[in-house]
Amino acid sequence: MRSILILAAATVLAAGTALAQSSTATGVSRDFNPAISVNTLLLGRVADRTAEPAYNGADLQEAEVQFTSIVDPYWKADLVFAIHPQHGHDHGEGEEGADHGGYAGDVEVARIAGQAIPGGFGLVVGKDYLPFGKHVPLHTHQFAFVDAPAAIQAFLGDHGLTETGVRLSHDLPLPWYSDLTAYGVDGRAEIFAAESRDLAWGARWSNLFDLSLESTLEVGGSWLRGPMAPDYLLLHDDETVAGDLQVWGADVTWKWVSAAASRGPALAVTGELILPRPDQGASDPWGWYAQAQYRFKRNWWLGLGAGGLDRSLPHEEEDAEEEEHGHGHGLGPWEEMREYKLNLTWVPSEFSAIRLEAARFDDLVGDADDTVFSLQFNFTIGSHPAHLY
């Protein structure tokens, strides 16, 4: 009897093993699961001004869950879900010093990319970051500094410019690498009028020159047009401006990566200019940033950045705007400002980093100056991420 039981147990175990190897009978298999990775940013910081909870204390900055897989011979899919703190100003309530509102989730990316498109065209359908300049397409954990430059937040949205639509790309037949991308999307990001039925359109032209084995120069231009959000110009709440918004951008990046050693010296310098051109409501707002990242030792990066913006608000609306919007865009709704950033990052492996940063914001019109010190922990679990250039 005991032998029969042992034999039966062995049979069941063997059958279990066989089922684990072949899922035909159960329909359960891990073979086709997507590659999964999770990136998390933890952030602690203190600011001179104490009204803004997001800038005083420690919290989750963002957790990003990414799924990637080949769908079939025709499509590859990417889904990215982001979880981040929700503060009062996220509700659009304009609450001064609003309380922490728990955590909110967003679908940052839900896209499929064509795998069998003929003629060298790239086709992407779905929700994705718009290809505007160098900074907008970056996920938060890819930023050179803790926050996006003030000009990017002010003119292209502080929650990311991720939209649903179609984009088409092609490598132009030029002697250098020259990529042209055009897109049409349903503009729902905060810079667009979400209720409008008009689509937003745009294009990016990126040119990359190989200067040597180790260095490249990239020169790009971007443009987008869409229905402008009523509060884009930060006017008084009851003074909304209708019409279209155009934004022009230009960027230059020089990059050098030494071949002499694995993760050896490297330097990347980027400058970007953003020129919003609303159909009406403001003269010529503009913003810019410049940043340098230098890997001076195998596991150590130094970052240096500066930037600024000028909204050119009509003078008589300035006080009302300060009063009503409070801290609607990060630390301040600056009319004209300059920012300076310095950070040091320790990257012990490809899967974790610790960043210490100091940032100074100078308000050139009002008195919303600030100094912020940040400590950021960045870690990734799951599949190995490919590195963007």
Contact positions vs another protein (CB under 8 A) = 70, 73, 76, 113, 115-118, 120-122, 169, 171, 176-177, 179, 206, 208, 210, 213, 216, 255, 257, 259-264, 298-299, 348-351, 381, 384-389
Query: Which alpha helices (DSSP H) does the chain contain, by range?
Result: 2-21, 150-156, 318-325
> In terms of DSSP bridges, do strands 266-278 and 244-257 run parallel, antiparallel, or are they unpaired?
antiparallel
Kindly state the smallest distance separating residue 298's Cβ from another protein, in Å.
Answer: 6
Kindly state the smallest distance separating residue 17's Cβ from another protein, in Å.
Answer: 17
DSSP character at residue 220: E
Nearest residue (CB) to another protein, 26 versus 212: 212
DSSP string, 151-190: HHHHHH-TT--EEEEEEEEEE-SSSSEEEEEEEEEE--ST
Q: What sign has the CA pseudo-torsion 329, 333, 337, 342?
A: negative
Three-class HEC string of 76-111:
EEEEEEEEEEEEHHHHCCCCCCCCEEEEEEEEEEEE
Kindly state the smallest distance separating residue 336's Cβ from another protein, in Å.
Answer: 36
Kindly state the smallest distance separating residue 357's Cβ from another protein, in Å.
Answer: 23
Tokens in use for 136?
Answer: 């907008």
Nearest residue (CB) to another protein, 177 versus 340: 177
Q: Which helix (H) or strand (E) holds 269?
A: strand 266-278
Nearest residue (CB) to another protein, 171 versus 279: 171
Nearest residue (CB) to another protein, 214 versus 239: 214
Nearest residue (CB) to another protein, 29 versus 115: 115
Tokens in use for 183?
Answer: 């897109």
Nearest residue (CB) to another protein, 45 versus 135: 135
**Separation CA 85–CA 104 (nearest Å):** 6
Residue 15: CA count within 13 A, CB half-sphere: 8
Kindly state the smallest distance separating residue 218's Cβ from another protein, in Å.
Answer: 8
DSSP character at residue 378: E
Kindly state the smallest distance separating residue 75's Cβ from another protein, in Å.
Answer: 11
Nearest residue (CB) to another protein, 40 versus 206: 206
Kindly state the smallest distance separating residue 73's Cβ from another protein, in Å.
Answer: 7
Residue 145: CA count within 13 A, CB half-sphere: 28
